[in-house]
Amino acid sequence: MRRATGEAPGRINLIGEHTDYNDGLVLPVALGLGVTVVARPRDNRTAHLVTDADVEPRETSYIVGAERSDGTWADRARGVTAALLGRGAPVDGFEAEISSTLPLGAGLGSSAALAVALVRALRELFDLTLDDGEIATVAHAAETEFVGARAGLMDQLASIYGRRSEALLIDLHDLSRVAVALPGELELAVIDSGTRHQHATGGYNRRREECEEAARHLGVGSLRDLEDRRLEDVLERLPPPLDRRVRHVLTENTRVRDAIAALRAADLSRLGALLDSSHRSLRDDYEVSTAELDRLVDLARDDRAVRGARLVGGGFGGSVLALTERGEARSAAERILRRYDRGRLVAVVP
């Protein structure tokens, strides 16, 4: 029987959080962890999914062309087939074995990796004509239109174009991409806090609504259009909490640019300070951190080997990253986790 395989990695975002849906700048790095989908055709319209991931249900089915949300992880698959059918793609029933090395809900792009891997498998299985940009669009539509999480496009682009050995500057204003080498001195520990987020039901959508409300109030299409204005002049025209939300987005774009300069100069102290500043902004201005994430970041900063730390991903739970010199990340993470007394080391990058 014919079979097709699709793979896609997760990602960490070195810096540039909650900027993508504001036409901003992001700096993700692909992980060596990801999702693999092996698909086979069926002789009817049923999609039958089986996964080894730590989710429920482990096995489920639905009818292609009659996708209905049930609130489980399988909605990402339903969203993919619904989006493909909406584009006129000749998708039929299939069997899919889904394996994942990514912790779900840890802020590492697992939803996007699942969608991208499934689209790639279905592209091969049904001989679909889709380039990488179209794969990103389909995977994003599954998340935003079907699942209802109004996330930006970073995760899909990072999963498709990201590389483990380098950061990828993505400008969401024009979707341009520039590879940025990671200095040999750098190492990152990615630590799962053990707390979970759910973009669609948490505060993620509300944060996007607040940014859109601020843009309307200021008469611009997106917050990116404010970059040539003096920050203080912009903020004084906004009521709280919109002023804080906008301050985070505009200063975070600046931090992305400064982080690129720090990477190119191999200045880990400067990069660490930017990570620290990003976390404070996400905690205080954007208000997407949690007590657990703050504690984990504080423990990381207190470690002798860590140059800087911040939450990574959408917030409301998930993971943090800690910057160290090469060869120090794993031992630093072990010390941090002993004091935190929960969570786990997910990855060391690069």
pLDDT per residue over 6-22, tens digit each?
A: 999 999 999 999 999 99
Residue 176 lies in a domain: no
Q: Are residues 85 and 198 in the same domain?
A: no
Q: Is the pLDDT of residue 121 over 60?
A: yes
Distances (CA, A) of 253 to 17, 62, 250: 9, 41, 5
Looking at residue 103, what DSSP letter applies? P
Q: Are residues 140 and 198 in the same domain?
A: no
Contact 41, 94 (CB under 8 A): yes
Q: Are residues 330 and 189 in the same domain?
A: yes
Give the pTM: 0.94
Return the SS3 of 327.
coil
Q: Are residues 151 and 131 in the same domain?
A: yes
* pLDDT band (50, 70, 90) for residue 24: very high
Instruction: Count the domains in the chain.
Output: 2
Task: Report, as residue numbers or ranges, the catalytic residues.
Answer: 155
Q: Are residues 190 and 318 in the same domain?
A: yes
Looking at residue 314, what DSSP letter applies? S
Nearest to 180 by CA among 150, 158, 147: 158
Q: Are residues 192 and 339 in the same domain?
A: yes
Q: Is the pLDDT of residue 200 over 60?
A: no
Q: What pLDDT sits at residue 96?
A: 98
Average pLDDT over residues 119-137: 97
Cβ neighbors of 261 (< 8 A, separation 6 or more) are 267, 270
For residue 126, the domain's CATH number is 3.30.230.10
Q: Could you count the other beta carbons within 10 Å of the beta carbon of residue 25?
A: 24
For residue 275, the domain's CATH number is 3.30.70.890
Residue 231 lies in a domain: yes
Q: Are residues 12 and 151 in the same domain?
A: yes
Q: What is the rounded CA–CA span in Å between residue 52 and residue 83?
A: 25
Nearest to 26 by CA among 306, 338, 260: 260
- Domain carrying residue 317: 183-349
Residue 331 lies in a domain: yes
Q: What is the mean pLDDT of the chain?
A: 95
Q: Are residues 133 and 22 in the same domain?
A: yes
Q: Higher confidence at residue 255 or residue 1?
A: 255
* pLDDT tens-place string over residues 209-260: 999 999 999 999 999 999 999 999 999 999 999 999 999 999 999 999 999 9
* pLDDT band (50, 70, 90) for residue 197: low
Residue 178 lies in a domain: no
Q: Could you count the other beta carbons within 10 Å of the beta carbon of residue 52?
A: 12
